[in-house]
Amino acid sequence: MRIYAVTFDLWDTLIKEVPGGSDKVADLRIERVMDALASRGLVHTREELVAAYAHTGRFLELTWSKRRDMGIKDQVLFLLTCIDAKLPGRLSREGFEEIVEIYSDCILDSPPVLLPGAKEALEAVKLRGCRIGLICNTGRTPGTTLRKLLERMGILWYFDVTTFSNEILVRKPAEAAFRTTLDRLGALPKVAVHIGDNPDNDIDGAKRVGMMAFHVTAYAEGEAPKADARMETLEGLAEALDKF
């Protein structure tokens, strides 16, 4: 049976955060949001921003635990409300949009790196005539910014469909994350394979909708006994696909 579509996870499958990258991006967000507010006469201390950022993180973790997600504007609105409940009302529409952009794009100044074999794997799949999708659980960085990052890395063009949890408001392993992507690709689950590192989100999630699932183990946390194939890095993908 010919594989018609291949979908990829993003983090720890195609790209990886550099050491200390998350802390650096968090610091940039806090500093730049604080400066943007101060430039509008809305002065708040770094301590206030740090506390609001941490509270937002706890709320996001709770939301994510339910396989749900927040749109980036709602996430920033929550952050601002944690600083001061009246703060959003003191910003113009343009001011709010600017803060959303600042909050979203800080990762571009401390970007993750493309993992070995990632680009070659995408090329191998493209050469086989398969449709290619991306299914990504986002954190504080939204899909709009991650697309910019992938374009800079030279791999965005490989994807026929990119699905980000902050845009569809559900997260892997929810079946909707996979089904939405397959519908957009025009593919049935039985002729599609998902590739990722997370045993629950990627492997078990894909298997529950009837896809095949390949486990990339280099940065995986735990085993994935239901995986149809295993490889340490994406350098082994072409061989694995040939077996099917």
Domains of the chain by residue range: 5-17+112-242, 21-109
As a whole number, mean pLDDT of residues 132-151 equals: 98
In whole angstroms, give the CA distance from residue 141 to residue 104: 5
For residue 54, pLDDT over 90 is answered with: yes
Token pair listed for 103: 């909050």
User: What contacts 198, CB < 8 A, 6 or more positions away?
Assistant: 9, 12, 172, 220, 221
For residue 1, pLDDT over 80 is answered with: no
In whole angstroms, give the CA distance from residue 99 to residue 76: 8
Q: Which amino acid is at 239?
A: E
In whole angstroms, give the CA distance from residue 207 to residue 193: 9
8 A C-beta contact, residue 34 and residue 44: yes
In whole angstroms, give the CA distance from residue 19 to residue 125: 30
Residue 242 pLDDT: 86
- Angle, CA 126 vertex, CA 122 and CA 130 arms, to 5°: 115
Give 221's pLDDT tier (boundaries 50, 70, 90). Answer: confident
Instruction: With residue 231 as reference, give the H or E element that holds it.
Output: strand 229-231
Sign of CA dihedral 175, 178, 181, 184: negative
Q: What fold does the segment set 5-17+112-242 form as a domain?
A: Rossmann fold (3.40.50)
Task: Give me the residues paired with residue 223 across strands.
Answer: none
In whole angstroms, give the CA distance from residue 54 to residue 210: 38
As a whole number, mean pLDDT of residues 19-45 equals: 97
Give 87's pLDDT tier (boundaries 50, 70, 90). Answer: very high
3-state secondary structure of 6: strand
Which runs of consecutive H residues, i.e. helices, occur in 93-233?
A: 93-105, 118-127, 143-153, 165-168, 175-185, 205-208
**% of the chain with per-residue pLDDT over 70:** 100
In whole angstroms, give the CA distance from residue 169 to residue 67: 9
DSSP state of 128: T
